[in-house]
Structure 1
Amino acid sequence: MPNAIIADDEDLPRDELRRMLAQAWPELTILAGCEHGEEALQAITRLQPDIAFLDIRMPGLSGMDVAHAVQGRCQIVFTTAYDQYAVNAFEAGAIDYLLKPITQERLDQAIARLKRRRAEPTGADSDLSQLMAELDRRLRAPAAERIRWISASVGDTIKMFPVEQILFFESDEKYTRVVSTEDEAHVRKPLKELINGLDPEDFWQIHRGVVVRADAISRARRDELGRITVELRGRDEKLKVSQGYAWRFKTM
């Protein structure tokens, strides 16, 4: 009997997908409903499901991060409200993606692909070209607006940080610490909101509370327990990398 987990940080979409799956694929057992990426990664490690339905944008580890971390241990179907993530979803090993709000017709198509994958593992990519053609038609919206400046109030002074000079962001309870090549400050905006305006090619999330500029990293070190720390050019500060983001630093 096939089984799966569902990961979504919002209750309603998670419960609705569970209901739709129960109707369309009654043989499928849902082993767990997860509220964030770290919980999903733990559930996949512990329960070893056949399938994981992962929301792409979740607090902490994203669905993409979870997919990279599990490295093909289960079939991945991404759910997302944003078309622009779909190509990266296939690069992360997804068999399909479902655009929210999920329709029953589209879910039925995904279930059919999952069943074909289970029955014929060697022919799993037979309809990938069709999916990519569909994406090519859909992914023509303008790119999301990127942050160019970060402003922070320090007493009666407003500090301005050009985003290209920022080395890393670090969550600090209700604030976010912004560290640049020459200065630092705290802003009231939470890290999870700032992430939406950062280019994921330039800024890498390496921990639930840390986002670092990729080209500021000088080296990553692994200790005897396998824990990774990152060193930045021109700074003594070392940043911890959590397990879910360790895949970024695997050698080629």
Structure 2
Amino acid sequence: MKPKLGVLLVDDERLARGELRTLLKPHPELEVVGEAADVEEAVQRIAELDPDVLFLDVQMPGASGFELLSRVEVRAQVVFVTAYDAHALRAFEVNALDYLLKPVHPQRLRATVERLLQHVGPELPGAGTGAARPLAVDDHLFLSGERRARFVQVGELACVCSAGDYSELVTRDGQRYLLPRPLAEWEARLPERQFVRIHRGTIVNLACVDRVETEPDEGLRVHVRGIATPFPMSRRYAAQLKLRLA
């Protein structure tokens, strides 16, 4: 028998926590091990309980669920619980396990539990029903690294590099995140006025480009601020980049 996944409920509304606890009862694979009414209490409970799953309310007085993730190292899978409408959900499309809209519907929760048990990321909203929405520079991505999870504005990405079936995202402060998304998906979704592909394996943020140099072999190298090693640029993409930098 597989061990149960320990769940921590973080929501400032006692009734909302109680409702979610009730909705989770038909799912014996999960066990609610604790609750927290605000970020300060959640920090303590995470340290004490080391939960496997956080059901995390986004909007709480004092400090938001976003701020909790920036303050503590979270090993748990994160499921956002939010009253945000569908137009605000782009913040959760990347690398969050899932999100639930309040009031939580039992069938929707069942789908979330199935994802938890499979240990796979969710499909992007809209997947299978058409192209995913493009991202704006001020949209936020939920990124999970080895040490902690954090929200990062799209404009804070310095570059995105291909890593097989994965992509490595590098932020302006040098943090790196590996996500199970192909580079082609990022090229289609990142703001085209600010992000440009310079090689079949590299997309750079034009706001982070320091200079472009010609190498002795007549190749080109793109220097990105904060990244020690310059990126090679294919001649196929050179004209496009020069046009944008002009």
Q: Please, what TM-score do these two structures have when normalized by structure 1?
A: 0.47
The structure that is helix-richer by fraction is 1
Q: Please, what TM-score do these two structures have when normalized by structure 2?
A: 0.48
